[in-house]
Chains A and B, each alone.
Chain A
Amino acid sequence: MSGGKGALAIVLHAHLPYVRHPEYPDFLEEDWLYEAITETYLPLLEAFDRCVDDGVPFRITMTLAPPLVSMLRDELLMSRYAKRLDALCELCDKEVHRTRGDAHYGPLAWHYRDHHYHLRRLFHDRYKRDLVGAFKRLQDAGALEIITCGATHGFLPLMAHPEAVRAQIQVACNHYRMHFGRDPRGFWLPECGYAPGIDKFLAAENIRFFFVDSHALANAVPRPRRGVYAPVFTPSGVAAFARDPESSMQVWSAETGYPGDGAYREFYRDIGYDADYEYIRPYIQATGDRKNVGIKYHRITGKVPLSDKAIYDPKAAAAKADEHAADFLFNRTRQIEYLRTAFGSGGPPPIVVSPYDAELYGHWWFEGPIFIEKLIRKIAYDQDVLQLQSPVDYLAEYPEQQVAQPPMSSWGAGGYSAVWLDECNDWIYRYLHKATERMIDLARDYPDASGVERRALNQAARELLLAQSSDWAFIIKTGTMVDYAVRRTREHLLRFTRLYEQLKAHQLDEPWLTSVEASDNLFSEIDYRVYRPAAAS
C-alpha cells in the first residue's frame, strides 16, 4: 500500500434488464433506462468528471452490465431518451411559470429547471449522447475500473448446464472487448451468485476477480484467516472479494441507512401523481395512466403520510449528503485502523469492499451522487488512513493470497437462491433448462453454419440469454410488474422454441427472423458456438 493502513473498494453495479420495444411508440418499462440516465448515470458521470477535472485522485470499480451497455448504445433508445429529456425540460418551464410568486415551490421549480437543462447539455454537448464512451474515458484516465457481468444477468448457480454458464460469461467478455477495447479484468457475478466451478469459466476469460457476499468467504474452505477483509484465490486462481456487511448496511439498510434521512428527496411524491390531470397529461403514460415524471417537491420528512411530507430543500439535502459522507469515511477509517491492528503488520493491509447497485445513487437516493463525490474528495484530502482502490489494484500490490473454496451463495435475501427459486417463479427453470439443452443440441448439429442459418442460430442464442435474465424471476418474486416479467420470460422462450423447430426442420421463416432480430437486437457480435458442448470444447 503506497499510503494508508488499508484499502476501500467502492463498487457500483450498474445494470438494467434489456427493455426495448420498438413496436410501441412509448413503453412504460423503458422508463427504467430513461430515469436511470437522468437520475444516476449522468449525475455520476458528472461527479466523476468533476473530480478528474479538479485533479482529485480516486479509483472506483463500476460494473456496466452488457444489457445496459447495449441500451446506452442503441440509437432508438437514445433518440427516445433525448425526446424524454426535452419533454422534461418543457415541463420544468411550465412549472416555473405555474409556481411563479410561490415563495416555497417557485425556487424549487427553478432548481429543477436548471438541473434538467444542465443534464440536457451534458447529454448532448459534453457526452455527445454516448455515455458508454464517457465511462470508457474515465476508465482510460485511471479513475474507473469498469468490469463486466453476466451477458443478460442470468443467475448462474441455477443453470443446470456448464455451457449456459460459459455462454453468459464469454458473451459478456466479448461484448466488453468490443465496447471498451481491452479485456475485462473483473466480473460481477449476477446477484453475487456463485457456485464452485463458476470461477473456472471466469479464468478461461482471464478474469482476475469477482465479488461474493460476506458469508461466501466466512464459510469458505479452509476458513479464510482474514475473513471478508482479504480476497481468496479460488481453485482456478480468480480472486473472490467479499462484501463488507457494515458499510453495506450503512447505505442499504431499510431502517438505518443514510438514504432514509428526512432531509432527502421523497421518491414517491411526484407531480406525475400530484398535478392536475389535464396539466400533466402530455407527460404521463400514453394510455393516460399517471406515472412519475421526475419532479418531486417534497422530502422524506419522516414516517408520515405522503400528504404530510415537508417541502424539499436541495441545499439542506446536499449538506446532509456531505455529513453522511463524513460519517461513512469516519467509520471506514476506524474500521481499517481496527483491522490493521488486529491483523498485525506482517501481511497485506485489510481491504473493505462496499458494493452497491449504482441505481441506488440518484434514482432511489437522489443525493447519492453528491454523497459519492463528497466521499471521493474527503478520502483524497481529509485523511491518510485508507486509500480508494479497485480489487485489481490490490491484487497487483499483493499478489500472494490465501487459497479457499467459497460455497454456493448470493447476496439475495437469505443468502442463497431463495429469491430466484421460489414457489412463485420456480416454473421457469424447466423451460430454461430445456431451451439450454436444445441450444447445445443446435450448436452440435451446426458446427459451422453460415447465411440465414447462422443468423437464426445467433438469434436463438440471444433469445435464450434474454430469457435467463435474473431480473424476471426477481420481479416475479417481489411482486412488482409481474405480468411484464412473465411476459418477457415466455416471449423469449417461445421465440427460441420457434427458431429451434425451424432449424430442426430446415424451414426458416426469414422475414420473421428479421423482425425478431430487429427487436431483440443486442450482442451483434454473438457467435452461437459459445454453446458448443462442453466436452467438445
Chain B
Amino acid sequence: MITITINNKEIKLEKAVTVLEAARSAGIKIPTLCYHEQLEKYGGCRLCLVEVEKMPRLQTACTLMVTDGMIVRTETEAIADVRRGILEFLLINHPLDCPYCDKAGECELQDLVEKYGPTTGRFKEKKRKVTENLQDPVIVRNMERCVMCTRCTRMCEGVQGASAIGVVSRGGHSHVEPFSGNRYDCEYCGNCVSVCPVGAIMSRLHRHSYRPWQVKENIETVCPYCGVGCTVVAQVRDDVIKRLVPKIGSPVNNGMLCSRGRFGYEFVGHGDRLTTPLIRKNGVFEVATWEEAIGLVAQRLGEIKDKNGSGAVAGIASPRCTNEDNYVFQKFMRVTLGTNNIDSTARMGYAGAQSFIENIFGQGATGNIISGLSNSDAVLVVGGDPTTVNPILGLQIRACSRRGGSILTVGHLPGFQHFSPLELNPGLNHETQLFEHILEHIVGELVSRKVLPGSNPLLEAKIKTVQADVAEMMKEPAISEKDFAGFIEKLAGAATPAVVIGKELIQSSGGGYKLFLICAITYLINGRIYLLSDHANEQGVLDMGCAPDLLPGYRPLSYAEFRKRYETAWKTTLSDKPGLNIFEMIDAAGNGALKALYVMGENPVFNLPDAKTVEAALRKLEFLVVQDIFMTETAQQADVVLPALSWGEKYGTFTNMERRIQRVRKTVDREGMEDWRIIAEVSKHMSQRMQYADAGAVFEEITRVSPLHRDLTYDEIAEGHTIYPYKGEPLRGATAEIKIEKGSSYPDGPLLLGVARPLFHSGTLSRKSPALLKIYPEAVVRINPATAAPLSIADGDIVRVTSSAGSLELPAVIDKHVEKQVVLIPNIFEGKGALSLIAIALDPVLKAPVLDSTPVTLERVGKVSA
C-alpha cells in the first residue's frame, strides 16, 4: 500500500500510478493539455506541473510515479504563475478566433485560459499565419490553432497504428500534416479528431452547424456497421445527428472508432430514404397508405399460404436489424405463416462456419472478448484483413504486436505491414497444403513435448487422417524453410494464442476443409477463435432463430424438447422439418416451388452471388414484399415496398461477434414504424395478434422463451457488460460427426475474381453515406502491376471484367498488394457489385458460397479523361 498526500488529502493506493492518476482518483483536478488517458505519456505541455516536497523543481504530474510518503501540492501561487506563463506562450500564435471556431465550448485551451490564463498578452509581434486546409473532404486542419500537444500523432501512431500524420518541420514552424500535406491517405478513423484538445483537427461533417452546448442529449448507442459493435455517442441537434463520438471506457472500443463508425452516419436522414409504402400496380409503384399496404401483404400471404401451403412462403431476415426485429420476424414466419423457411445473409459464411466450429468446440466457442486479443502472445490471422473488415478488432491485434506478441498471417495483409508480421504467402493454390503442413508440424512439435491435449477424441481421430501433400507446394517454394520454422515456433510455443478467421477463408474453394484444419490447429495450440463478422447483428440474427434449422437461443429445431418449449410459449405447433436456406429459397423461387417471399432489411439481388439468376428467380414469385430503408435493387422488384425506421430511429438490441448484447437507442425522431412493428401489424391482419408496447417488451418475451437469454433484463443490458453465456444455458460439447470434404483446386492460369472488402464501406448503408463516398467514391478493380503490364492497363484505365455470369466496366487501380492471379472488385456500388459476376456454388460442408474461384478476363476499353 502506497500512501501519498495531495493538497493535504491522504490518498491510499494499491499500486504505483502517476501523481496525475492518483489525484484524479481522489477527485483532485490537475490541468492538462498533452495528457490523454488513451495515449502514451508525453509530459510536453507542462501544464500539470506540481510541487513535490523534497524535489528541487516543479514536476510533471502526468509522468511522475507516486512513491510512498510523497507530499504533493497542485494549486499554489507559484504553480498558477507558471501555468499562466505557459498559456501566455501558447497564445502567442493561437488565433483567438473562438467566436468562429467549432471547438469553442469544448476547447481545452479555452477552458484553461479562462481558469488560469493571462487576460492580455505581452507579445507585440505578429501571429503565425497558416491557411486553413480544406483539401480533404472529411477532415479539416487549422494549424494556427494547433498547440503541438502531439495527441493526434501519438494517437495515429501509437494507438491506431496508422502513422499517417506526423509533426513536420521544427520549432515555431512545426505543424501536423499527412504525408501529402493536403488530402489524407489514411484509414480515416478520425481518432485524431477526437483527441485534438483545440480546433486544429476537426470533422467537416458538422462544420459550423452547431455548438457543443446546443447538444441536448448525448445518446449512447451501438454502431450500425460491423460485428464488433462499438459504443458510439450520438450528438443531436434539431433531429439531425450532428456527430458520432466514441466513449472512453466503453468495453468494446474504449474511445476508438473507425471510418465507417465515425463518418458513416449520414444515411439516417438521407433524402433517398423511403417515406411511404409503395404498391406495384400495372408494373409501376404507386404511393399507398399503411392500411392499404399492410392489408394487401396480409391478404396475399394468406391466400398463397392457403392455396400452396406454408412451404410456398419464405422470409429473409436481416443482420442489420435488431434482435427484436428478427425475433418478431421469425415468430411471424413460424407461427403466423407456419413455415421454417427463414434465413439471412449470415448464410454467406458466418452461420455455416460458426455451426461447424461449435460442433467441434461447443456453443459459444467464437464468443471471445475482442480486447483480449491485445493480451495474446500470438495471433494467427487467416481469411482476410481484420483491419478492414472489423477495424477495431484489427487494432487489438496491432496492440498485441506492440506489446511483444507475434502476428502470424497467411497471405499478405496490408493492415499489418508496419507491425512486423510473420507472413506465409502460399498463393491461392497451396493454402490447403500449407495448413496441412502447419498442422503436421504442430502435431510433431506437441508430440515431442508430450503435450497433446487429448480432450477431444472425435477431433483427434480426424487430425490423424490428415496427410500433408506438400510435394506440389514445394515445387515452387514461395515460402522459405526458415520462415516456416519461425512461424511454427511462435505458433506452437504461444501460451495464449488466438486465431482470427475471416470470410475469405470460409468463402474459398474447399473452405470447409480449410476451416477444419484451422480448427484442428486451434485445438492443438489451445487457442481462442474469433470469427470476423461484417454486420452489426450477424450473431443476433442467428441467436433469434432466423435460420431454417434454429430456434431462438441458437437451439436446434430438430430437438423435440426445444420445439415443445416454443410450442407452449407461442401456443402453436412447429414443424420439425428444417426450412429452406437462403440459396434454396432462390432455387425454389426459380423452379416455382416458392410463391411468396418476405424480405426484411436485406438486398438479396445485390448481396447474394449471381445477380441475374437471383433477379430472374424473384421475378417468378407471385408475391414479393421488401421492407427496407432505401429503394434497393431487390425492392425495385417487389410487389409491395414497406419503409422501415433505420438504426438511428429505433430502440432495440444488437448482439456483437463476441456475443455481447448491447442497446441500440433512438437518436432522432422520424415518422414510421420499426421493422418488428410492421411485421406485428401484418400478423394482426392475419388474425394472429402480436402485441408489444415497445422493443423492451419484445426483448422481455425473448428472455422468457429463449433458454439462452433467460432472466436477462432490458435494463441490465444498458450497462454493455452483458456477455456470453449470459444467465442461461449454452449447449456444450460436440454432437455430430465432423465432416471433412476437400475442395477442388483452383484453375491454374486464368485470372480469378476476388471480393474486395474496403475499410470505408459496408454496402447498403455506406453507399448512402456522403462522407464515406467522398473518401471512396466508386467501384474500382484492383490488379497487380504484373497482371496489368501485359494487358497494357494503366492506373485509371477503364477495364472490362468478364466472367461466365456477366461483365462490368470499372476503372483500374494498380496495387502491388493484390495477388498476381487475383482481380479484386468490391461489392458495394449499385450495378457494380463483384458478386454479380459470380455463379452460385456452395461449399459442401459449410453451405457458404465459394467466391474465390471465378475465372475472369480483363480487357482495356478506354481511358478516363483527365
Please say whether chains A and B are actual partners in one complex: no
Interface residues of B (CB under 8 A from A): none
Interface residues of A (CB under 8 A from B): none
